[in-house]
Amino acid sequence: MGEGYLRTEDLSVGYDRRALIRDICLDIRKGEIIVLAGPNGSGKSTILKSLTRQLSLISGSVVLDGKDLERMNGKLLSKKLAVVLTQQIRPELMTCFEMVAAGRYPHTGCLGILTEEDRQKVEEALRIVHAGELGSHFFHELSDGQRQRILLARAICQEPEMIVLDEPTSFLDIRYKLELLSILRSMSREKKITVILSLHEIELAQKFADRVLCVKGETIFMFGPPEEVFEEKRICELYGLTSGSYDPLFGNLELPSPQGKPEIFVISGAGTGIRVFRRLQREQKPFRCGILYTNDVDYALARHLADQVVTEEPFMEISDQAVALAMKEIHASRQVICTSFPIGRMNRRVLSLIKEAEKQKKLKMETDSVFDSQTAEAAKWSSEDMESTYKTLLKEEE
């Protein structure tokens, strides 16, 4: 990919000659996917409108493919750039085919007459966004999600070198969000089309973007690859999170953990505790858990939702200290929930916890919350097999 397809130098953007965001210096490569992230009102749309000449620049410059954006004539710009913004377009008595065909006008003659090739490109664009059956429908009769797909088809039909989209997933359900982002990624990779868009779904931005532009305050908060941007402290600072948390492993925002005195202790591992943790959170039942290795997927969630987690270092045999802490929690708990997870040489000492909970008549086995189907198939263990294994191992301990 060539360097500097879109560059901004000391760019300031805003309204009525008043700068809202200053010192924007970007160097975006051809075929790169850039996602703008940040809280509502931070200026993401203002930046996008300034990059597409919807707003006049306060100061600085935008250079597109080596040419000053401000000096490009409309026809050349429309061949370089397609825009899908959030404004609700409601043209009366225009079919979806006609809406998408508008994307061909930069390529037609002065009369705007479509050739057979143009019509084929319109049909192809409708198929790409899975809207082929909507061609004869009136645009104003569509749902918000369907309109968004038609507007994307119009942008595709324009055959631009860069597409700019403002919150394109806002009105789409899960299926069409994934399909839209997949289409954009394919266009970026296969046709080297530069894609710049704003997204509220940071879990999608984390998986989709080549680089993320974080917008907050009067300057750019951060600009870099998702691996650097999507760290817990940075996301909490960017969005000003005062309750709940952000989990970079799952890419999820987590609600605050249940408040109160924990009366439940959960023994789990290998991902089997996740459903239990989430159920207890929904029911607003505070809990503690352990003994979890700090590289266990259960720990990644438990550290956000549990009142306390008894941990052990990865690949180490469970220590006396960890067992003592967990035993103390079991004695203080009203109920001990144990999921069905694999027990081997390194974590064998959790059996003493299970045995103690059973002795105190506090044990509840969650055999219906075992591995996900893939893990269960790989392990060749059913919940009944696992419970039987536990009983056998407990007898061996005795």
pLDDT tens per residue, range 360-386: 999 998 865 444 444 444 334 444 555
- CA dist 73 and 75 (Å) reads 6
What 3-state DSSP class applies to 99?
helix
pLDDT at 326: 97
Closest CA to 307 of 334, 285, 279, 283: 285
Q: How many domains does the chain have?
A: 2
Looking at the predicted structure, is the pLDDT value of residue 395 above 80?
A: no
DSSP label of 255:
P
pLDDT tens per residue, range 16-31: 889 999 999 999 999 9
Sheet architecture: strand order including 287-293: 308-312, 287-293, 264-267, 335-339, 363-366
pLDDT at 219: 85
From 213, 242, 271, the end of a domain falls on 242
**CA distances for 65 relative to 54, 81, 259, 313, angstroms:** 19, 11, 55, 52
- For residues 228 and 283, membership in a common domain is answered with no
**pTM (2 d.p.):** 0.80
Listed in sequence order, the DSSP H helices in the chain are 44-51, 74-80, 96-101, 116-128, 144-157, 174-191, 202-208, 226-229, 232-239, 274-282, 297-305, 320-332, 350-359, 373-379, 383-397
DSSP H/E element including 311:
strand 308-312
- For residues 229 and 328, membership in a common domain is answered with no
Q: Using an 8 Å Cβ cutoff, are 223 and 69 in contact?
A: no
Q: Does residue 303 fall inside a structural domain?
A: yes
From 201, 218, 242, the end of a domain falls on 242
**CA distances for 177 relative to 49, 87, 149, 205, angstroms:** 22, 19, 10, 12
Q: Does residue 247 fall inside a structural domain?
A: no
Q: Give 283-304 as a DSSP string.
A: TT--EEEEEEETTSHHHHHHHH
In this structure, what token pair is assigned to residue 32? 């790169």
- CA dist 99 and 147 (Å) reads 10
Q: Does residue 225 fall inside a structural domain?
A: yes
Looking at the predicted structure, is the pLDDT value of residue 173 above 90?
A: no
CATH number at residue 325: 3.40.50
Q: Which amino acid is at 3?
A: E
DSSP label of 136:
T
From 185, 208, 242, the end of a domain falls on 242
pLDDT at 123: 93
Q: Give 197-218 as a DSSP string.
A: EE-S-HHHHHHH-SEEEEEETT
Query: What count of other Cβ atoms lies within 10 Å of the Cβ of residue 261?
Result: 7
What 3-state DSSP class applies to 398?
coil
- For residues 309 and 219, membership in a common domain is answered with no
What 3-state DSSP class applies to 49?
helix
pLDDT tens per residue, range 296-325: 999 999 999 999 999 999 999 999 999 999
Domain hosting residue 180, numbered range? 6-242
